Structure 1
């Protein structure tokens, strides 16, 4: 080991000891209830270090000075999906996700990246996601690629296959991006169709209001149809989930403050999210800013209002919905289920669509392997998890595979491609299916 690396590990160990929540680390009873819930533990053949219990033990060993925070330690934390399925399974109420985010943040502050990686991280975390205009610009480039025929030529000539790993397949499942003019002309208020039952504020997100803008439009449509008045604050920004999960906690805190400022003057009963990954961080703003005297109470007040779209639609009641006869199954968004606690509302909404036969997928609550950018940086494990998921999906014989998070949706579409089911199965976001069912019932489709 070089002297520089040895010094870095010593400094990292000190930072871990000072920065980790030791009370939370010793809260683990080592009972093993988390093991069956952990995807990486199962797919690694029962490797203890690849489990929540094992990773907590590794963190504690570093904090206690028993082991060094070496490459193997960092690798185990990197290979965790962060799905937080271990938390509902834990009898002592461990907040494993908070420990993981703290550890990754401490590691990143000491990590010596190569120049290309350092530049890429700077672009993604500082120059792209926190700046809505640049998100729209990048999405406009993708729109140009899709709409001018360049994409068809690239696919026909197999140029896309030069992309590393599964990026070529991922390119094929990207949604059709709206035009630049549509991305600019976004509403700030949508009236309820009838007498308003609720006044809600909508968190439109960054990717959701560019690449997945059609899903946001479906969200506004069905909320209005369900007699909700919707306010969409203009000054909102990226939720910060990608930052928080990637060791960029300071960036996540800054984005949280911007969003709190944007929403706290809006008189609304709920703050609506339609993306499980975003919603999970929004409800954790209270924890993220708990040590900031100026923001702690404001963050708690913000988080208390956050609800998933499915919960609100089920509460207020949907208009009549109907589709052509089809079997539908549902894949849980990990963070929607494990952090926000939302699992029955989406299923009840799907079951209420006339013409739909709902079939529960085996282990629908287990991660699909997307986990933000995990399917790019940890491709082998991600695809291993996805292939198992697709076997369970195929067993339902469903024609329509529904989920509630953009990353999960792309992952499931990738799984459909890998399984050769493109002609038989479609992947769709739940609000797009609900909007489709409302329009069909009204004779619009």
Structure 2
């Protein structure tokens, strides 16, 4: 053992093994007691029953590679890619192993040695360096998608069968995409929206990247909900993508660049909270302190930032004045509208925000909340997982919809855009009640918010 680093004094011949030794937190690897509490929490283990497809199994492979016991081969890389990154193993772990950090460190190491084909290199460079980080590119994407959806081109493409040329996972996602727009929340509401009544606190909305293109209405509704709950809302225009998809894909340098820009942007505002309405974004934002811990210039500012990040539902319930909610049209014969909820994995497991959405749903008059079995289990979306791992994602979704159908709910609510699209797809493919609607919880509440007189 190297006394300086606390890591094995191994001379690895394999380049990936050397990088894993450099990047992986060895203390976290040795913290795993192999107790197995993580096994039933892991969706990929539940689907396969295979030890390497579990958090315990993956950690064992990481440690074996670092210790020089095994060479990290293609099977090693495949199992690291198969992980959803849902982090359901973390709350189940009695040793508090930071599995999410370990899997991202491993993927960063793998990406440094990856040999992608030219088309994959072009796609990754376009997406990670020229699309997500740049607001202008996102607006162009939103405008182009909007034109495609509204001009009749979408109908023409589908009628000619051209969608069959795409991988099935992409054509399925295209079918459930919401209406895109080049006008995000700032273009619609400006950079400041005042509280209704006496302000409780000053907050800043993290608008996201794809969120502000594909779900701009949800961002607008979030601002208006926060205002009704008593918050002055700032929307800094120079904010950028959170970097979550970069981090999950091994592009950690770019994730840190984006984090630095966001920290600088929000630090200029004298705000009490930074509000997220997307569990996937929020989970990285709340861990900017870990992401930037090796950067002396950003270590303290990142802690300031992370300490202020909160999900919109949690903020409204714990700090706000909860608005009055009622159904737009009362159900017939005194019956109540049934509503169920699919947890965002990152909101539940990382941001610890499982209870607040349920509290708000129960505030809506003439509504019955029905808890779905295994609502805390991943739906299979996981960023772009449903595109790159369609078989596993499809199997997980099918089982999810079995539980959703059993609720007989009219609305399936969630708190993350990726989960929302996945549940729309699930309703399309597997629901026995095609009248069921998937909605972001903010949109559901906003639609039922009783306007103050």
In the superposition, the TM-score normalised over structure 1's length comes to 0.95
Q: In the alignment, what sits opposite 1:318? A: 322
Do 1:143 and 1:178's aligned partners in 2 also have CA atoms closer than 8 Å? yes
Q: In the alignment, what sits opposite 1:95? A: 98
| 1:143 has 2:150 as partner | no
Do 1:203 and 1:271's aligned partners in 2 also have CA atoms closer than 8 Å? yes
- How far is the alpha carbon of 1:295 from its aligned partner? 0.7
| 1:372 has 2:383 as partner | yes
Query: How many angstroms apart in 1 are the aligned matches of 2:296 and 2:200?
Result: 36
Structure 1 regions of 5+ residues with no counterpart?
Answer: 1-7
Any residues of structure 2 matched to 1:88-167 within 5 Å, and which?
88-167=91-170
Do 1:398 and 1:425's aligned partners in 2 also have CA atoms closer than 8 Å? yes
Do 1:187 and 1:232's aligned partners in 2 also have CA atoms closer than 8 Å? yes
- How far is the alpha carbon of 1:109 from its aligned partner? 0.6
Q: In the alignment, what sits opposite 2:9? A: none
Task: Give the 3-state SS of the residue equivalent to 1:36 in structure 2.
Answer: coil
- How far is the alpha carbon of 1:178 from its aligned partner? 2.6
Q: In the alignment, what sits opposite 1:31? A: 35
The superposition leaves residues 361-418 of structure 1 with CA deviations (integer Å, 9 ceiling, x where unpaired) of 0000000000001000000000000000000000000010000000000000010111
Instruction: List structure 1 segments (4+ residues) > 6 angstroms apart after TM superposition.
Output: none
Query: How many angstroms apart in 1 are the aligned matches of 2:158 and 2:228?
Result: 39
The 3 A distance-change label for structure 1 pair 422 and 114 is farther
Which stretch of the first structure deviates more once superposed, 174-183 or 198-207? Answer: 174-183
Aligned counterpart for 1:237 among listed residues 233, 236, 240: 240
Do 2:140 and 2:182's aligned partners in 1 also have CA atoms closer than 8 Å? no
Q: In the alignment, what sits opposite 1:191? A: 194
Task: Give the 3-state SS of the residue equivalent to 1:58 in structure 2.
Answer: helix
Q: In the alignment, what sits opposite 1:384? A: 395
Which stretch of the first structure deviates more once superposed, 355-364 or 172-181? Answer: 172-181
| 1:362 has 2:373 as partner | yes
Query: How many angstroms apart in 1 are the aligned matches of 2:35 and 2:431?
Result: 41
Q: In the alignment, what sits opposite 2:68? A: 65
Q: In the alignment, what sits opposite 2:7? A: none
| 1:279 has 2:282 as partner | yes
The superposition leaves residues 164-184 of structure 1 with CA deviations (integer Å, 9 ceiling, x where unpaired) of 122222111101113559874
Do 1:321 and 1:352's aligned partners in 2 also have CA atoms closer than 8 Å? yes
| 1:13 has 2:24 as partner | no
Q: In the alignment, what sits opposite 1:408? A: 419
Task: Give the 3-state SS of the residue equivalent to 1:105 in structure 2.
Answer: helix
Task: Give the 3-state SS of the residue equivalent to 1:67 in structure 2.
Answer: coil
The superposition leaves residues 329-366 of structure 1 with CA deviations (integer Å, 9 ceiling, x where unpaired) of 00000000000000000000001100110000000000
Query: How many angstroms apart in 2 are the aligned matches of 1:93 and 1:17?
Result: 21
Q: For the aligned residues, what is the CA RMSD?
A: 1.7
Aligned counterpart for 1:221 among listed residues 219, 224, 237: 224
Query: How many angstroms apart in 2 are the aligned matches of 1:158 and 1:436?
Result: 36
- How far is the alpha carbon of 1:153 from its aligned partner? 2.5
- How far is the alpha carbon of 1:420 from its aligned partner? 4.6
Aligned pair count reads 434
Do 2:193 and 2:232's aligned partners in 1 also have CA atoms closer than 8 Å? yes
Q: In the alignment, what sits opposite 1:302? A: 305
The superposition leaves residues 251-307 of structure 1 with CA deviations (integer Å, 9 ceiling, x where unpaired) of 100000000000001111110000000000000100001111111111011000000
Task: Give the 3-state SS of the residue equivalent to 1:209 in structure 2.
Answer: helix
Any residues of structure 2 matched to 1:425-440 within 5 Å, and which?
425-438=436-449
Aligned counterpart for 1:348 among listed residues 327, 349, 359: 359
The superposition leaves residues 19-78 of structure 1 with CA deviations (integer Å, 9 ceiling, x where unpaired) of 11111100000000000000000001x100000000000000000000001000000000
Structure 2 regions of 5+ residues with no counterpart?
Answer: 1-11, 332-336
- How far is the alpha carbon of 1:149 from its aligned partner? 1.3
- How far is the alpha carbon of 1:196 from its aligned partner? 1.0
- How far is the alpha carbon of 1:421 from its aligned partner? 5.0
The 3 A distance-change label for structure 1 pair 182 and 38 is closer
In the superposition, the TM-score normalised over structure 2's length comes to 0.93
Do 1:183 and 1:209's aligned partners in 2 also have CA atoms closer than 8 Å? no
